[in-house]
C-alpha cells in the first residue's frame, strides 16, 4: 500500500493536461485551488495506515491474498459491502467533502462482474484482461477515475441519432492492437487526482449504437486526454491565503470535464468493444454501487454539519433551548435514516457470477432517493440554527485589520469564554457545506450524482414488483 506522501509523489510524476481559468496548470498537486481536493484523496491513503481503522480501511485481496487498501478491493461478501459504507462515512467525517476515490471503486466492481458475464455468453476474454488491470491497480494502490457521464446533447435522441456523433464517447477507428476513441465525460469526480481512467457507457444501448458500447482503462496522462477543471461556488477564496473564509481549512472535492481527443486504447485495456447488449447491465451495476456509496459519504459529511450546527448554537448561547435541541435531533434522525438504507442494501448484498458481491438494487436506489432530499433539509436546519450572520459576516481580512478588527471582535462575540474567531470559523464551515465549495458534494451532487432522482424512481419502479403486492392484497381481501 502507498502512504499519503507516496500518493502525492506518484501524482507529481503524472503529466496531466489540466486547464483552469483559461490556463494550463503546471502542477495539480501544488495549485492552491486544486490542492484541497488532493488532500481529501490523500486521506484515503493516510487512514489505511492508522491502526484504529485497519479493519475498515484495508482488505485482503481476492486476487493476490495481499493486504490492500479497501478502495482497490473487489467486494467478496456482504460484510465487505457494509465495511465499504462505514469506510465512506469515516472519510466523510474526516474531510467534510467528497474524497473522490469511490467512483473508481464502484466502476471496477461493476466492470468485474459485467466482463465475466459478457465472456460467459459471447466467448470473449475481457474478464481475464480486466483482472490483470485490477491486480495492477491493487499492487500500485492507484486512484481510478470511474468515467461514465457523456455530454448527451439532445436528450430526446439516442447516441447514434445525435447531430454531432461525438456527444457520446465512441470508437472512431479500429487499428491493429487497439482502438481510437473520441468524446468527453462530464462531472468527473477526482479526475485530476487519479492515476487511471476507467471508461464505461452512460446508457443502455441498441445495436445501432454499438460504436458507443465501450469500456476501457487508460493512464490518466495518456496522449489526447485533456482536463478542464470545474468551478465551485466561492472557489477563489482558496486563493486568498487565509484559513477562516474557506470554511474547510484543508479539504475539498473536485470535478473536471475530461476530453478524449482521438485517444488510442491498446487491446489489453479494452473490456467491452461493441457488446451493446451489456451496456445497460454495466450502467445499472455501477449506478447501484454508487447509490450505496452515498449512504456512507453524505452521512459522514452530515455528521460534520450537525456538529457545526451544535457548536454554532453553543457559541450563540442557545444550545439549551428546546427548539434547537429538537432541530438537532431532527438532523440526526434524517442523517441516520440515510445510513440505514446504505447499510441495509449492503447487508442484503449477493454474489454475482464472477464472485464479486453486488448490493440490493432496490434498497440502494431507495438510499440514493433519500439522499436527493434529506441533505437539503439537514442544510436548511443548519442554516436556521446558524442565524443570518452566516451570510452577512465580514471577511477574514477585516477581522484581522488593525483598526476595524477590534470592532468585529467585540460586536460579533457570542457567549463569554468563546473566542469570536471560533464563532466565525464554525459559521464559515456551515456556509462552505451548505452554499460554498463543499455544497457541490453535499447538495447538488446529492441530487444529481450517481444519477438524478428520476433515475432512481425508474429503478424503484422496476424493482417494486407491484404484481406480488397485489397478490398479497387479493389474498387478504378474499378476492379470488
DSSP 275: -
Instruction: Compute the distance between CA of residue 285 and CA of residue 440 in angstroms, rounded to an integer.
Output: 24
d(CA 413, CA 424): 9
Q: From CA 347, how far away is CA 477, in angstroms rounded?
A: 33
Residue (148 or 343) nearer to Fe ion, CB: 148
> What is the distance between the alpha carbons of residues 165 and 186, in angstroms, rounded to a whole number?
16
| 3-class DSSP state of 22 | coil
Q: Does residue 87 contact residue 56 with C-beta atoms inside 8 Å?
A: yes
- 182: closest CA among 196, 169, 198? 169
Query: What percent helix, strand, coil does the chain show, rounded to 5?
Result: 55, 15, 30
- Least distance between ligand SF4 and beta carbon 147 (Å): 12
Q: Is 249 a catalytic residue?
A: no
Contact between 43 and ligand SF4 per CB under 6 A: no
Q: Rounded distance, CA 222 to CA 43, Å?
A: 26
Within 10 angstroms of residue 446's Cβ, the number of other Cβ atoms is 28
Interface residue with ligand SF4 among 58, 189, 202, 372 (CB under 6 A) is: 189
Is 340 among the residues known to form the active site? no
By CB under 5 A, is residue 449 in contact with Fe ion? yes
Kindly tell me which of 159 and 449 has the beta carbon lying closer to Fe ion. 449
Grid coordinates representing 407 are 470592532
| Residue 212 C-beta: closest distance to ligand SF4, Å | 24
- Does position 296 interact with Fe ion (CB under 5 A)? The reply is no
At its nearest, how many Å lie between ligand SF4 and the CB of residue 186?
Answer: 15
User: For ligand SF4, which residue of 102, 147, 305, 311 counts as binding (CB under 6 A)?
Assistant: 102
**Given candidates 62, 100, 194, 365, which one binds ligand SF4 under the rule CB under 6 A?**
100
- How many residues at the interface with Fe ion, by CB under 5 A? 1
- Pick between residue 375 and residue 441 the one whose CB is nearest to ligand SF4: 441
Footprint on residues 293-312 left by ligand SF4 (CB under 6 A): 293-294, 297
**Closest CB to ligand SF4 among residues 360, 445:** 445
Least distance in angstroms from the C-beta of 455 to Fe ion: 13
- Element holding 136 (H helix, E strand): helix 126-140
Interacting residue with ligand SF4 among 59, 98, 282, 334 (CB under 6 A):
98
Residue (198 or 244) nearer to ligand SF4, CB: 198
Helices 35-46 and 78-95: crossing angle in degrees, nearest 10, is 140
Q: Applying CB under 5 A, which residues contact Fe ion?
A: 449
Q: Applying CB under 6 A, which residues contact ligand SF4?
A: 98-100, 102-103, 189, 293-294, 297, 441, 445, 449
Amino acid at each position: 500500500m502507498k502512504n499519503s506522501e507516496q500518493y502525492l509523489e506518484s501524482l507529481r510524476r503524472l503529466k496531466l493536461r489540466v486547464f483552469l481559468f483559461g490556463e494550463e496548470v503546471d502542477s495539480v498537486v501544488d495549485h492552491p485551488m486544486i490542492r484541497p481536493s488532493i488532500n481529501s484523496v490523500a486521506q484515503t491513503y493516510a487512514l489505511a495506515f492508522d491502526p484504529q481503522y485497519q479493519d475498515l480501511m484495508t482488505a485482503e485481496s481476492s486476487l493476490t491474498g495481499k493486504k490492500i487498501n479497501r478502495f482497490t478491493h473487489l467486494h467478496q461478501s456482504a460484510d465487505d459491502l457494509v465495511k465499504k459504507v462505514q469506510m465512506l462515512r469515516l472519510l466523510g467525517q474526516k474531510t467534510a467533502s467528497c474524497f473522490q476515490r469511490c467512483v473508481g471503486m464502484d466502476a471496477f466492481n461493476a466492470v468485474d462482474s459485467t466482463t465475466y458475464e459478457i465472456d460467459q455468453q459471447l466467448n470473449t476474454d475481457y474478464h481475464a484482461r480486466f483482472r490483470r488491470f485490477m491486480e495492477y491497480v491493487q499492487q500500485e494502490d492507484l486512484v481510478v477515475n470511474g468515467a461514465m457521464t457523456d455530454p448527451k446533447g439532445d436528450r430526446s435522441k439516442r447516441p447514434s441519432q445525435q447531430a454531432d456523433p461525438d456527444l457520446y464517447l465512441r470508437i472512431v477507428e479500429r487499428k491493429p492492437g487497439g482502438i481510437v476513441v473520441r468524446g468527453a465525460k462530464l462531472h468527473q469526480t477526482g479526475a485530476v487526482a487519479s492515476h487511471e481512467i476507467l471508461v464505461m457507457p452512460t446508457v443502455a444501448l441498441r445495436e445501432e449504437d454499438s460504436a458507443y458500447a465501450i469500456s476501457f482503462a487508460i493512464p490518466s496522462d495518456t496522449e489526447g486526454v485533456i482536463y478542464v477543471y470545474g468551478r465551485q461556488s466561492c472557489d477563489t477564496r482558496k486563493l486568498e491565503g487565509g484559513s477562516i473564509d474557506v470554511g474547510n481549512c484543508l479539504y475539498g472535492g473536485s470535478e473536471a470535464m475530461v476530453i478524449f481527443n482521438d485517444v488510442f486504447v491498446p487491446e489489453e485495456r479494452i473490456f467491452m468493444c461493441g457488446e451493446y447488449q451489456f451496456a445497460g447491465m454495466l450502467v445499472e451495476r455501477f449506478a447501484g454501487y454508487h447509490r450505496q456509496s452515498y449512504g456512507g459519504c453524505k452521512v459522514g459529511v452530515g455528521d460534520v454539519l450537525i456538529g457545526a450546527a451544535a457548536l454554532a448554537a453553543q457559541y450563540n448561547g442557545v444550545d439549551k433551548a428546546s427548539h434547537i435541541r429538537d432541530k438537532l435531533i431532527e438532523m440526526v434522525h434524517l442523517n441516520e435514516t440515510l445510513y440505514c438504507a446504505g447499510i441495509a442494501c449492503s447487508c442484503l448484498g449477493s454474489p454475482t457470477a464472477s464472485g464479486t458481491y453486488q448490493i440490493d438494487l432496490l434498497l440502494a436506489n431507495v438510499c440514493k432517493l433519500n439522499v436527493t432530499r434529506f441533505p437539503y433539509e439537514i442544510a436548511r436546519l443548519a442554516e436556521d440554527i446558524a442565524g443570518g450572520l452566516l451570510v452577512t459576516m465580514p471577511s477574514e481580512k477585516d477581522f484581522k485589520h488593525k483598526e476595524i478588527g477590534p470592532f468585529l471582535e467585540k460586536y460579533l462575540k457570542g457567549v463569554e469564554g468563546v473566542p469570536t474567531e471560533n464563532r466565525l470559523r464554525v459559521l464559515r464551515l456551515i456556509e462552505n457545506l451548505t452554499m460554498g465549495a463543499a455544497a457541490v458534494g453535499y447538495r447538488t451532487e446529492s441530487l444529481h450524482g450517481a444519477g438524478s432522482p428520476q433515475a432512481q424512481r425508474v429503478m424503484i419502479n422496476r424493482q417494486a414488483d407491484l404484481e406480488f403486492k397485489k397478490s398479497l392484497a387479493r389474498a387478504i381481501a378474499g378476492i379470488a
